[in-house]
Amino acid sequence: MNPLYSALLFYLVAATHSLASLWRSDAHRAISHMSRWHKITLLFTVVGFVFHTVVLLTKVGEADFVPFATLGEAVSFFSWALVLIFLVVELKYRVYVLGSFVLPLSFLSLLSSGTFSGGSGALGVTTGDVWPRVWLGLHTTLSLSGIVSFAIAAIAGAMYLLQEHFLKYKQFNTLYFQLPSLDLLDRWNKKAILFGFPLLTLGMIFGGLWARDFLESLWSYNNPKMAVAAVTWLFYLLVLHGRITVGWRAKQAAHLAMIGFIGAVLIFVTLT
Amino acid sequence: MNISVVGLNHKTAPVETRERLSIRADELTDTLCRLRNSPFINEGLILSTCNRVEVYIVSKETERGIDAVRQFLYRQPSDLHPKSQPLGISKEVLDPCLYTYTGGDAIRHLFRVASGLDSMVVGEPQILGQVQDAFEQARVHQSTGMLLNKTFEKALSVAKRVRTETKIAQRAVSISYAAVELAKKIFSELDQKTVLLIGAGEMAELAARHFITHKVSAMMIANRHYDHAVALARQFGSTPILMEDCVLGMTQSDIVLCSTGAPHYVIHYEDVLKVIAARQNRPIFLVDISVPRNIDPKINTLDNVFLYDIDDLQLCVETNLQARKEEALKAEAILSEEVERFTQWVKSLDVIPMIVALKDRAEAIRQMEVEKVVGRMGAITPRERELLDGLTTAVVNKLLHDPLTALKEETYSSNGNLMLEATRKLFRLDKK
């Protein structure tokens, strides 16, 4: 059985299952009490995740240990890391509703990763020096991890805006009861950006080192990816600064996290 | 042995009747003694709360036991109206209010009561403690035996199971508690939060008490009359502030409970604009429990402000009540399963000793009659004796075969208790 298809299949079931739980009035039970419904979602996610890990390890092996150099692989890694974070958060906070947001995104990104099958020469991997390859590997892994963190911040932001809407307009529906408190969502948003920003920063530094060795210049003006990355990086720097000093929190912070993620997606799009 | 319950509750009896029958803690010793005095009651337990008075008994003869309880209730003395009705309550008044359940139905009733399914507010938690107390008291007075003890222990564990497996007891069903629940959806932890109580309306005060039990870090109290604020603040262990300082107080408060008698807005849109800026967008939860409203409703359009008036809280409570009703259906399913299992066990307690007793009795009669005949016949050979024994044993066994089979089969059916009782009476198994 093809591990990629298996992973997709299991993610699909987990995603639809957790989406369906939004309409179940008893799916949210006590936050500390895991219902059978959630166990099923979790089981499918874990099995899918194992297959997905196999896929990624094989790819990295094939690429001579320069990971995620193609857009397809990068998107696949993005999907994998999202699921990993979902599983960690599940275990720590037991906020099962996160799955309803994360799993569909993971599934769709993994599904789309198959369509971006550019050759691994896209980033010009050379067989020569060892250092450029190390830089490149660190660059891709760290930047991608940063982007995944920003995705989590954006998801927390979206959940915040939903919950804020329910609280403001007194809509006590199933989703309202399943979503965690505004305060917790705001903290996730902040933590995710605080975590992702240094990763992206390091990723960009290694990218620069690789560019210095491979393209023989740190910065290239006609490289849209570099420009988008720089703008995104500046944006998140501003968001963090605003959060700490001016009090950009709560609803504003939720909006900012979602806008910032558009930049992160653009980095992907310009990865060709 | 059969469990029965006779009682009345808020659905069947008006408060005048309930208070006539309610039993105070200090009267319980006498009352339990009086109950146990009846020869038809083997075990007894009284559950008396403000919404119900129920007498649980175990009796050998169900009908007589129930009748004894009814007599007991008619004669329940009351010191509420000692002059008008010194000799208890009349049959005509009481009978329409009483309900009676026996066997499996009585067990189901007790399980429902303990789980809060029979309560006025479905799922309310106090009843479990009350059942526990009643059981404890009865045990202290040694008025219960093995069967009631097992039944009540089971009822308590079933109630706990219902509580953990359904959401029946979750979510607030009072307006004041709904405010706490909403605050938790905004702030998650309340222990770092400050509450500002404006005015001294009853409901706001109640909500303030709930917040204190949820360990908010500080509370400020503002009142038009500063001395009132001081008095209330002393009671709550909080800080009194001047009414003029309210807006300043709001900048430091995360939760504002407002309930003054003022016929106009006390908190205005412009005030809150300033407060939000000063709070650097930290969310603020405003609860307006006053009618007419004291907080300008336009304030809810501001970002990071959550304004709830009394109708909003009411809506929240109604949603929760609806959810509790849905959960109650699940609870009933759990109960059915538990009742089924427990009644089987109770019946097995009866049927096996009864079969043994019936066989013993028949055997005793047979041997007695054989001895009589042998006495009259004089000397007989062992062969003749053997034939005589064989004949009588065959007659007894053939006669008993069908009743015993029926007993074994029917005990677990719905009229199993009737069958057991009939057997006991038909064969006079009580009289040794």
Q: Which pLDDT score is estimated for B186?
A: 94
CA neighbor of A264 nearest in space, from A240, A229, A221, A226: A229
Under 8 Å CB pairs connecting chains A and B tally to: 62
> What residues of chain B, 328 to 347, have a C-beta less than 8 Å from chain A?
330
- Please, are residues B180 and B173 in contact by the beta-carbon 8 Å criterion? no
From CA A85, how far away is CA A99, in angstroms rounded? 10
User: What pLDDT digit, counting tens, does each position of A7-34 carry?
Assistant: 999 999 999 988 888 776 554 444 444 5
Distance from CA of B89 to the nearest CA of A (A): 47
Mean pLDDT in residue range B26-39: 86
Identify the H or E element spanning B56: strand B52-59
- Please, are residues A150 and A264 in contact by the beta-carbon 8 Å criterion? yes
Q: Which pLDDT score is estimated for B377?
A: 85
Contacts for B273-277: CB closer than 8 Å, 24+ residues apart:
B273/B302, B274/B247, B275/B247, B275/B250, B275/B251, B276/B302, B276/B303, B276/B304, B276/B305
pLDDT higher than threshold 80 for residue B45? yes
Would you state the structure tokens that stand for residue B241, as one six-digit string? 């502030």
CA neighbor of A152 nearest in space, from A72, A95, A111: A95
- Please, are residues B207 and B180 in contact by the beta-carbon 8 Å criterion? yes
AA identity, residue A17:
H
Asked if A181 lies within 8 A of B316 by C-beta distance, the reply is: no
pLDDT higher than threshold 60 for residue A163? yes
User: What pLDDT digit, counting tens, does each position of B123-173 carry?
Assistant: 888 899 999 999 999 999 889 988 999 999 999 999 999 988 888 877 778
Among A25, A182, A246, beta carbon nearest to B283: A182
Alpha carbon of B147 to those of B40, B57, B356, B384: distances in Å? Answer: 15, 10, 20, 48
Distance from CA of A107 to the nearest CA of B (A): 30
Is B170 part of the contact surface with chain A (CB cutoff 8 Å)? yes
Alpha carbon of B120 to those of B14, B15, B48, B173, B368: distances in Å? Answer: 13, 13, 15, 12, 61
- Please, are residues A95 and A89 in contact by the beta-carbon 8 Å criterion? yes
Asked if B187 lies within 8 A of A180 by C-beta distance, the reply is: no
Mean pLDDT in residue range A178-199: 92
The rounded percent of chain B whose pLDDT value lies above 70 is 97
What is the CB-side half-sphere exposure of residue B185 using CA atoms within 13 A? 27
Asked if B304 lies within 8 A of A247 by C-beta distance, the reply is: no
What domains does chain B contain, in order, with CATH numbers? 2-165 (3.30.460.30), 175-316 (3.40.50.720), 346-426 (no CATH)
CA neighbor of B102 nearest in space, from B68, B130, B152, B65: B65
**Peptide bond between residue B292 and the one before it cis (omega within 30 degrees of 0):** yes
The ipTM value here is 0.84
Distance from CA of A150 to the nearest CA of B (A): 22
Q: Which pLDDT score is estimated for B21?
A: 84
Q: What is the mean pLDDT of chain A?
A: 83
User: What pLDDT digit, counting tens, does each position of B334-381 carry?
Assistant: 999 999 999 888 887 778 888 888 899 999 999 999 999 888 888 888
What is the biggest distance separating any 2 CA atoms in chain B, rounded to whole angstroms? 120
Identify the H or E element spanning B375: helix B310-377
Mean pLDDT in residue range A171-198: 91
Is B288 part of the contact surface with chain A (CB cutoff 8 Å)? no
Among B188, B319, B323, beta carbon nearest to A181: B188
The region of weakest confidence among A60-64, B290-294, B404-408 is A60-64
Q: Which residue of B has its CA nearest to A253?
A: B281
Q: Which residue of B has its CA nearest to A182?
A: B186
Cβ-count burial of B150 within 10 angstroms (0-12 exposed, 13-18 middle, 19+ buried)?
Answer: middle
Asked if A167 lies within 8 A of B186 by C-beta distance, the reply is: yes
Q: Which residue of A has its CA nearest to B306?
A: A168
Q: Which residues of A touch B164 (CB under 8 A)?
A: 30, 33
Q: Which residues of A touch B304 (CB under 8 A)?
A: 250-251
Is B308 part of the contact surface with chain A (CB cutoff 8 Å)? yes
Mean pLDDT in residue range B321-336: 89
Alpha carbon of B205 to those of A32, B202, B244, B251: distances in Å? Answer: 31, 5, 20, 21
Mean pLDDT in residue range B224-233: 88
User: What pLDDT digit, counting tens, does each position of A96-151 carry?
Assistant: 888 899 999 999 988 888 776 554 444 555 555 677 778 888 888 898 899 999 99
Among A26, A163, A181, beta carbon nearest to B184: A181
Mean pLDDT in residue range B70-97: 73
Q: Which pLDDT score is estimated for A34?
A: 58
Among B164, B303, B306, beta carbon nearest to A167: B306
Would you state the structure tokens that stand for residue B188, as one six-digit string? 């998650």
Q: Where are the alpha helices (DSSP H) in B168-221?
A: 175-187, 202-213
What is the CB-side half-sphere exposure of residue B24 using CA atoms within 13 A? 6
Distance from CA of A4 to the nearest CA of B (A): 38
Q: Which residue of B has its CA nearest to A178?
A: B185
Instruction: Give which of B254, B281, B302 to mutate to test A binding, by max A Cβ within 10 Å.
Output: B281
Q: Which residues of A touch B315 (CB under 8 A)?
A: 170, 172
- pLDDT category at A185 given cuts 50, 70, 90 is very high
Strands annotated E in B289-374: 305-309
Mean pLDDT in residue range B25-49: 88
Distance from CA of A220 to the nearest CA of B (A): 40
Dihedrals phi, psi of B52, to nearest 5 degrees: -160, 150
User: What pLDDT digit, counting tens, does each position of B377-429 carry?
Assistant: 888 889 989 999 999 999 999 999 998 888 888 777 767 777 877 888 888 87
Alpha carbon A53 to chain centroid, angstroms: 16
Asked if A167 lies within 8 A of B185 by C-beta distance, the reply is: yes
Instruction: Give which of B188, B301, B307 to mutate to test A binding, by max A Cβ within 10 Å.
Output: B188
Q: Which residue of A has its CA nearest to B309?
A: A170
User: What pLDDT digit, counting tens, does each position of B171-184 carry?
Assistant: 778 888 899 999 99
Alpha carbon of A34 to those of A40, A137, B320, B345: distances in Å? Answer: 10, 39, 21, 32
- pLDDT category at A89 given cuts 50, 70, 90 is confident
Among A183, A247, A251, beta carbon nearest to B187: A183
Q: Which residues of B touch A251 (CB under 8 A)?
A: 281, 303-304
- Please, are residues B195 and B216 in contact by the beta-carbon 8 Å criterion? yes
Asked if A247 lies within 8 A of B281 by C-beta distance, the reply is: yes
At residue B101, the 3 state secondary structure works out as: strand
From CA B352, how far away is CA B407, in angstroms rounded? 10
Q: Which residues of B are tagged catalytic?
A: 50
Q: What is the mean pLDDT of chain B?
A: 88
Identify the H or E element spanning B222: strand B218-223
Q: A36-62 and A71-93 helices cross at what angle (nearest 10)?
A: 150
The rounded percent of chain B whose pLDDT value lies above 90 is 43
